[in-house]
Amino acid sequence: MNRSVQYLLRRLGFYLLAAWVAISLNFLIPRLMPGDPAQIMFARFKGEMSPSAIAALRETFGISDAPIWQQYGTYLKHLLSGDMGISVSNFPQPVVDVIATGLAWSIFLAGSALVMSFLLGTTLGALAAWRRGGILDSVMPPLLALLGAFPYFWMAMLVLFVFGFGLGWFPLWHAYPEGTSPGFNLPFLVGALYHAALPAATMVVASLGGWMLAMRNTMVGILGSDYITYARARGLAPRRVLMRYAARNALLPNITGFGMALGFVLGGALLTEIIFSYPGQGYLLIQAVRAQDYPLMQGLFLTITLAVLGANWLVDIVTLILDPRTRR
């Protein structure tokens, strides 16, 4: 069997094992905690529920007195069919529907911010290392390191106060203007971009320094390598040396970091979404915690975990393509 295929299958086996452990923990932890969703609903109605209604609620939430192994089998069966239960805080809406709504907004906001900061940071880092000692290399790294040292939530509150409350250039909350109907229409799309501009800019500025510094430092080491010296001695065009040989190899650590950062996307920029009242995964998670919505919390944690594992497997594939050493 090809070594590359063996490598990918080994990594896939590891991620499948990690996914099974995550799924099992996601099943066990809520059952080890006191209470259940039916009791929470019972408390909300201040005890004004009949025993038959409570029994129906327990059945709706998938709670039973069956042996634990039987409950585990039922849980896996429902999970494979896409059934994550009923949300307590959004009753009677299914957890899958609630997560799908928040996931779309998180991918739009945090995903676009991550892609922009990754592309811009790696490009600036490569140029700073290529022209070491220049204006870009002297000014940008310390400036971005300073901005990156501030916590996300502090920067989010600062820009919201200045550009939202003070100058009134951007909206203060939500993901799209009131009165517009969500869909592929121009008013909604323009409004969604306008509402996402400020929180996305906050996340880009806060994370840009990390991508740039990582790329610059790796690039500086690679530019001193023998094969770069040989490529220059052969008279290859500087642009070709930069893009084909130096930047390609320096990009590998950043690609690995990009895969790990995808968990940040699906988890949502928790505090940023709370400050801007943006209805993404992070905002859903804090609402689920406040409402003790265990089915929704389970679904969110599982979605984030599986997405991170899947993203890292894709990163392994990209690394295999970019780095010939992994094919040996």
- Show which of 51, 80, 109 is a domain's final residue: 80
Q: What is the C-alpha to C-alpha distance for residues 290 and 136, in angstroms, rounded to an integer?
A: 46
Strand partners for 86: 94
Residue 141 and residue 57 in one domain? no
**201 pLDDT more than 80:** yes
Number of domains in the chain: 2
Residue 252 and residue 133 in one domain? yes
Residue 106 and residue 202 in one domain? yes
Q: How far is CA 165 from CA 51, 73, 124, 158, 283, in A?
A: 51, 53, 32, 10, 21
Q: What is the pLDDT of residue 45?
A: 59
DSSP 82: T
Q: To 5 degrees, how large is the angle CA 198–CA 200–CA 201?
A: 65
- The answer to whether the CB of 110 falls within 8 A of the CB of 285 is no
Domain coverage including residue 21 = 3-80
Cα-flanking dihedrals φ and ψ of residue 265, to 5°?
-65, -50
For residue 123, tell me if it sits in a domain: yes
Residue 152 and residue 268 in one domain? yes
Q: What is the pLDDT of residue 69?
A: 76
**268 pLDDT more than 60:** no
* pLDDT single digits (tens) 155-189: 788 888 888 887 878 877 777 777 676 767 777 78
For residues 18-44, average pLDDT: 72
For 178, half-sphere exposure in the C-beta direction (CA atoms, 13 angstrom radius) is 4
Of 16-20, 195-199, 257-261, the one with minimum mean pLDDT is: 257-261
Q: What is the pLDDT of residue 39?
A: 63
- Show which of 48, 80, 112 is a domain's final residue: 80
Q: What is the CATH number of the domain that holds 160?
A: 1.10.3720.10
Q: What is the pLDDT of residue 49?
A: 57
pTM score: 0.72
Q: What is the pLDDT of residue 62?
A: 58
**CA nearest to 36, candidates 8, 17, 55, 13:** 55
Q: What is the pLDDT of residue 275?
A: 81
- Tell the residue number behind the tokens 């220059």, with chain if given: 232
Cα-flanking dihedrals φ and ψ of residue 67, to 5°?
-55, 155
Q: What is the C-alpha to C-alpha distance for residues 275 and 136, in angstroms, rounded to an integer?
A: 33
For residue 86, tell me if it sits in a domain: no
